[in-house]
Amino acid sequence: MDRAALKALLEAIIYVSEEPITIAQLEKVLADVSKDELRGALEALLEASRAPERGVEIRQVAGGYRMYTKPEHHEAVRRFVRSQKPPLRLSLPALETLAVIAYKQPVTTPEIKAVRGVDPSSALATLLEKGLVVTAGRKQCIGRPILYRTAKEFLIRFGLKDVGELPTLEEFEELARASLGEPEPAPAAGSEPARESREEAAEPGNA
Amino acid sequence: MDRAALKALLEAIIYVSEEPITIAQLEKVLADVSKDELRGALEALLEASRAPERGVEIRQVAGGYRMYTKPEHHEAVRRFVRSQKPPLRLSLPALETLAVIAYKQPVTTPEIKAVRGVDPSSALATLLEKGLVVTAGRKQCIGRPILYRTAKEFLIRFGLKDVGELPTLEEFEELARASLGEPEPAPAAGSEPARESREEAAEPGNA
Amino acid sequence: METPPSVQLDVYEGPLDLLLDLIRKQQIDIFDIPLARITQQYLDYLHRMEQLNVEIAGDFILMAATLIYIKSKMLLPPDPFASPDEQLDPRTDLVERLLEHKKFKSAAQMLQQKQILEQATWSRPDTAAFAGEPGELVVTLWDLVKVFREVLARPPEPPALEIKREEFTVAQMMDEVRELLRASDQPVSLLELCRRHPTRRGLIVLFLALLELVRLEAVVALQNELFGPVQLRKHRMFDVVFAPDTATEIDEQYQ
């Protein structure tokens, strides 16, 4: 392997390695390269990465080699990372609660609990914080519990024009059944009420 | 900012970015840099990363820029990647369904069925599950069927800048006509592994 | 003539695949398909499927009807009063469909090659460090619907009825799993299996049976992703383990 190819390979390995990679590890993988060659190429690689037009340098740390952005870019990089809208990540309880709200909106905490079998308060707090769910007045019944519905952010994040675009449970069943090769159509018990309530809910949401 | 510093900063930002970063995003972060300067520096950066002594190159994918190891280091690099993305194993029906969606998007289940001759539900469920395909609203026709389109993950997994980068359908049409139109002695051998194996089994059937 | 059990029938995903294969194998010009011959071969294939007790999908039957219809149309003399449009070769539509289908088959192969190439490169393997809280997943609309269906499927509250204790043995449960898996190579959903045995004891016995089967390598449990559904599939020792008497022995150990 020539020097250029060896440098390239070393750069690739350091890039993918999750932890600082040691000389010993490199020697093991590149058994056909002499130690001197390896050290020479590594030195050249580190040297090259320090050039002013490079933004990612390789440094020795904790007995190994690792890539870092340079300190002088610290500010800009941080600004960029902050400006990023990370992909929507939700815990399973939060996702479950969001699903119930999306399909049954507007809906109260006790109603969500009845469906999920678990108190949704903590998940609900997360959803409110992420702006996926908003309050929608109070239900005119004993205790006047708060109603929740999905927010505009929900539609944006899931790429929907309105909640009417949500796949119905029947449509989902069709796909799911086909993928599992289940011969029996599962009883679509819960699907009907969900659909009705959603249509009602869609009206105020669109207003 | 001079060219070298700009290149370095761009490299740093692309390195930390979780997703392919778009020109628009870069323009926003680097508001004080002119668009021409930005594009020029970006081009130079891509060019430099392709040099043989570089192991990590910047490529355009899914409408943005992203760092990748080079394919030639595949073997050595694989041993260092701990958290490997699970390899994408798609069945032939799933791939064919994906191809139909990629070229005809947005497209409905009945439309896919018309091309493939079989119900695509099972393949579609797989593609949705793997995040390669997403829903894209409903078609304004009888039954309001769900529309499907390819997701960003599709572009990333298949290394495409955008769907426009795919070969045109006319090219495949020529291929189809060539392989089916005129009687051919030997149909393109290597390209159709699924068919080849099927052929052996088929012989007794014709007897 | 009796069909020897060793005869294997090619598996086609759909009628268009079968037709394309018939055409290709005989090096027929697709723009001049000898319809009588192809229809006969197509029907022969369906007939063989029938003999082997393979269930024939409706799509195949529909295509058979289409072929027969086209064939009959070709036997008729052209209608002198028909417009030029109607005088088109009755095979035209079929040829168009076959070409369209073939086109996308080629496209699929191209995609596969691209994907294999892409798999040889890595990008940001340490994204986990930048990800959100542990246990959080990037979600899509599909996950949302899937989760809602699962929530609805959950038994609401334990019913206050007294349930008669069922006397399921581990061997019986293993039998049930065998019956489910024997027929095909399709995986069976674990969730589905659990739903069949909603009682505590039923689930425990099922769990023991599955542990045993997995240990014996008769069954393998697969999960495609975190939180993904668990699927059960036949494993390499399936036939050995389910040889007569093995199950009874195991059950004795559990008594």
Tens digits of residue pLDDT in C201-238? 777 778 788 888 887 878 887 777 666 777 888 877 77
Domain boundary among A22, A46, A72: A72
Residue among B8, B28, B54 minimizing CB distance to A55 = B8
Residue B151 lies inside a defined structural domain of this protein: yes
CATH number of the domain residue A195 falls in: 1.10.10.10
Average confidence (pLDDT) over A143-159: 90
Q: How far apart are CA C180 and CA C163, in angstroms?
A: 26
Residues A188 and A96 in one domain: yes
pLDDT digits (tens, 9 = 90+) for B125-167: 999 988 899 999 899 999 899 999 999 889 988 989 999 889 8
d(CA C203, CA C197): 6
Domain assignment present for A207: no
Domain containing residue B110:
87-200
Contacting chains of B (3 CB pairs or more, <8 Å) are A, C
Q: Is the ipTM of this complex over 0.90?
A: no
A57 and A126: one domain? no
B138 with B171, same domain: the answer is yes
Question: Residue A3: is its pLDDT beyond 50?
Answer: yes
B183 and B160 share one domain: yes
Query: What's residue B133's pLDDT?
Result: 93
Crossing angle (nearest 10°) for helices A169-180 and A191-206 = 130
- Angle between helices B193-206 and C35-51 in degrees, nearest 10: 90
Span C245-251, average pLDDT: 54
DSSP states of C184-206: -S--EEHHHHHHH--SHHHHHHH
Instruction: State the maximum Cα–Cα separation within chain C, in Å, rounded to a whole number.
Output: 84
Q: Is the same domain home to A189 and A119? A: yes
Is there a domain that residue B207 lies in?
A: no
Percent of chain C past pLDDT 90, that is, above it, reads 12
Same domain for B194 and B92: yes
Q: Which helix (H) or strand (E) holds A137?
A: strand A133-138
B42 and B94 together in one domain: no
Taking the C-alpha atoms of residue B206 and residue A117, their distance in angstroms, rounded to an integer, is 60
Please check whether residue B206 lies inside any domain of the structure.
no
B61 occurs within a structural domain: yes
CB C22, CB C36: distance < 8 Å:
no
| Residue C161 predicted with pLDDT over 70 | no
B16 and B48 share one domain:
yes
pLDDT at C226: 63
Q: A179 and B129: CB-CB below 8 Å?
A: yes
pLDDT over 80 at A203, yes or no: no
Residue B77 lies in a domain: no
CB B98 within 8 A of CB B132: yes
- Phi and psi, residue C250, nearest 5°: -60, -40
Smallest Cβ–Cβ distance between B93 and the set C13, C16, C110 belongs to C13
Domain stop point among B23, B39, B72: B72
Query: Across-strand partners of C220?
Result: C233
Give the model's pLDDT for residue A201. Answer: 37
Q: For C40-63, write each residue's pLDDT tens digit.
A: 999 999 998 888 877 778 889 999
The pLDDT confidence band at residue C4, using thresholds 50, 70 and 90, is very low
Residue in A122, A151, A189, A148 with CA at minimum distance from that of residue C148: A189
Residue B115 pLDDT exceeds 70:
yes
Say which residue the tokens 């289908």 belong to: C101
| Closest chain A CA to residue C188 | A180
Q: Which tens digit of pLDDT belongs to each residue from B24-78?
A: 999 988 889 999 999 999 999 999 999 999 999 999 999 999 999 999 998 888 8
Q: Same domain for B46 and B109?
A: no
Is 50 exceeded by the pLDDT of residue C127? no
Residue C157 to chain A, least CA–CA distance (Å): 8
For tokens 């701990």, the residue is: B82
Q: How far is CA A84 from CA A88, B21, C254, in A?
A: 12, 10, 57
Q: What percent of chain A has pLDDT over 70?
A: 86
Structural contact between residues C152 and A189, judged by C-beta atoms closer than 8 angstroms? yes
The alpha carbon of residue A31 is apart from the nearest alpha carbon of chain B, in Å, by: 11
The reported pLDDT for the residue numbered A157 is 86
Task: Tell which of A27, A46, A72 closes a domain.
Answer: A72
User: Is some CB atom of chain C closer than 8 A to the CB atom of A102?
Assistant: yes
Taking CA–CA distances from A172, the nearest residue in chain B reads: B125
- Check whether A94 has a pLDDT greater than 60: yes
Measured between beta carbons, the chain A residues lying within 8 angstroms of C136 are 89-91
Which chain B residues are closer than 8 Å to A80 by Cβ?
13, 16-17, 25, 29
| C-alpha to C-alpha distance for B127 and B123, rounded to whole angstroms | 6
If asked whether residues B27 and B98 sit together in one domain, one would say no
pLDDT band at B104 (very low <50, low <70, confident <90, very high): very high
Question: Is B178 found in the same domain as B99?
Answer: yes
The yes-or-no verdict on residue A181 having pLDDT over 60 is no
Looking at the structure, tell me whether residues A24 and A114 fall in a common domain: no
* Domain membership flag for residue A147: yes
Question: Token digits for B5?
Answer: 């510093």
| Residue A121 pLDDT level (bands cut at 50, 70, 90) | very high
All chains having 3 or more CB pairs closer than 8 angstroms to chain C: A, B
Number of domains in chain B: 2
Residue A80 lies in a domain: no
More confident residue, C9 or C39: C39
